[in-house]
């Protein structure tokens, strides 16, 4: 049993990118949708960002090469990543969750564009009323569905670890509540990949040892796991027993807004790079402004090269959405560190590899 438990909700938006596209295009409903790079009839580069549940029936999943996804289901609807749409919907959903947290005297933490935690450990004593986790979870799911036309799965548990695993247990549109008394019984039959922190490399190690379920993992003692995986082994020892001491931070607004673009072919040609780069900058600024913000401190340019190595360069100053020319100029100076031969600024750039992806981010809002 996990002692001193709390009541933690994990809210996960199901197939978020694909669901957002379906919301904007109702005629997509019931059809396989794949969001990611252009498949180019099976010759495209890049990967799947997300796939709806209809597409997953064909074996398509996130991070799969887009060319393979096309071969598995060429009749699927393939769509490019629409970051501004997803950021806008995410922002609205997070406001709903923050309001629920405030209503029940809780704490809210956004964990990603499509997931968040709410700590409602004090809800049962709030205003001398008794609130039940299932009722609040249904309230959350209904509010998201009715206001934003997006489906969410909710997991409730005695800590962040259990809540997150629970939210994935009955997708899509799931609701799973795990009490402290039933935590170990819930965990033991699960495949080891359900434990956050066990990725493909760690999975291979465990499979070779015939460790396939959480119950199997729990049979390994702490010294053995430490020898096998170092500090990560200690963490997994605790996770297999449903233990997680992490605390949820108080609600905070979106920390950054970003957008990126993957080129159809790796390039070092500025006549190809710049016509894509400046619209990215303007999209990010427009999205930032649409959320009610005006000022920020930091801009970051991200570049992924042909060898898949990714680099970033940032600058902090006082920026306003009204000064787009300054933002573009400074963004271009950051990009210059990564592009070859040009006379725009008049100095030799530090890198000469071809570019696969460019991105722009703003952060440190005020």
Indicate which residues carry an active-site annotation: 115
Look up residue 33 and give its two tokens: 């949708």
Using CA of residue 338, residue 342, residue 348, residue 352, what is the dihedral sign? positive
Which residues have C-beta within 8 Å of that of residue 133, sequence separation ≥ 6?
Answer: 7, 9, 120, 156, 177
Most distant CA atoms of the chain, gap in Å = 70
Q: Give the residue carrying structure tokens 């564009």.
A: 113
Which residues have C-beta within 8 Å of that of residue 238, sequence separation ≥ 6?
Answer: 244
Separation of alpha carbons 193 and 191, rounded Å: 5
What DSSP designation does 64 have? S
Look up residue 195 and give its two tokens: 């434990």
* Of residues 366, 291, 362, the one with CA closest to residue 326: 362
* β-pair type (256-267, 77-79): unpaired
* β-pair type (310-320, 295-305): antiparallel
Q: What is the DSSP string of 307-324?
A: TS-EEEEEEEEEEETT-H
Distance of CA 128 to the CA centre of its chain: 37
313, β-bridge pairs? 301
CA atoms within 13 A on the CB side of 308: 3
């Amino acid at each position: 049993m996990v002692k001193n438990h709390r009541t933690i909700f994990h809210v996960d938006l199901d197939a978020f990118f694909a669901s957002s596209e379906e919301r904007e295009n109702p005629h997509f409903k019931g059809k396989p949708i794949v969001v990611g790079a252009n498949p180019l009839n099976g010759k495209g580069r890049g990967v799947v960002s997300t796939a709806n549940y209809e597409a997953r029936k064909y074996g398509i999943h996130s991070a799969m090469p887009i060319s393979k996804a096309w071969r598995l289901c060429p009749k699927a609807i393939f769509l490019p990543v629409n970051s501004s749409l997803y950021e806008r919907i995410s922002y609205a959903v997070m406001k709903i969750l923050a309001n629920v947290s405030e209503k029940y005297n809780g704490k809210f933490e956004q964990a990603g564009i499509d997931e968040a935690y709410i700590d409602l450990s004090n809800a049962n004593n709030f205003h001398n009323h008794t609130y039940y986790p299932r009722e609040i979870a249904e309230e959350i799911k209904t509010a998201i569905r009715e206001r934003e036309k997006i489906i969410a799965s909710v997991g409730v548990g005695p800590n962040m670890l259990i809540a997150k695993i629970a939210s994935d247990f009955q997708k899509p549109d799931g609701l799973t509540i795990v009490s402290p008394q039933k935590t170990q019984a819930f965990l033991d039959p699960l495949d080891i990949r359900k434990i956050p922190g066990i990725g493909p490399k760690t999975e291979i190690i465990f499979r070779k040892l015939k460790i396939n379920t959480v119950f199997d993992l729990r049979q390994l003692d702490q010294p053995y796991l430490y020898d096998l995986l170092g500090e990560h082994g200690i963490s997994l020892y605790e996770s297999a027993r449903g233990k997680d001491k992490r605390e949820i931070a108080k609600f905070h607004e979106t920390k950054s807004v970003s957008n990126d673009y993957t080129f159809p072919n790796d390039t070092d040609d500025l006549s190809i790079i710049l016509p894509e780069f400046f619209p990215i900058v303007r999209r990010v600024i427009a999205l930032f402004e649409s959320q009610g913000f005006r000022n920020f401190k930091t801009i970051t340019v991200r570049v992924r090269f042909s060898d898949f190595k990714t680099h970033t360069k940032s600058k902090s100053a006082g920026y306003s959405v009204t000064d787009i020319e300054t933002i573009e100029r400074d963004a271009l100076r950051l990009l210059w560190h990564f592009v070859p031969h040009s006379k725009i600024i008049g100095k030799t750039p530090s890198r000469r590899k071809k570019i696969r992806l460019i991105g722009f981010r703003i952060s440190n809002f005020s």
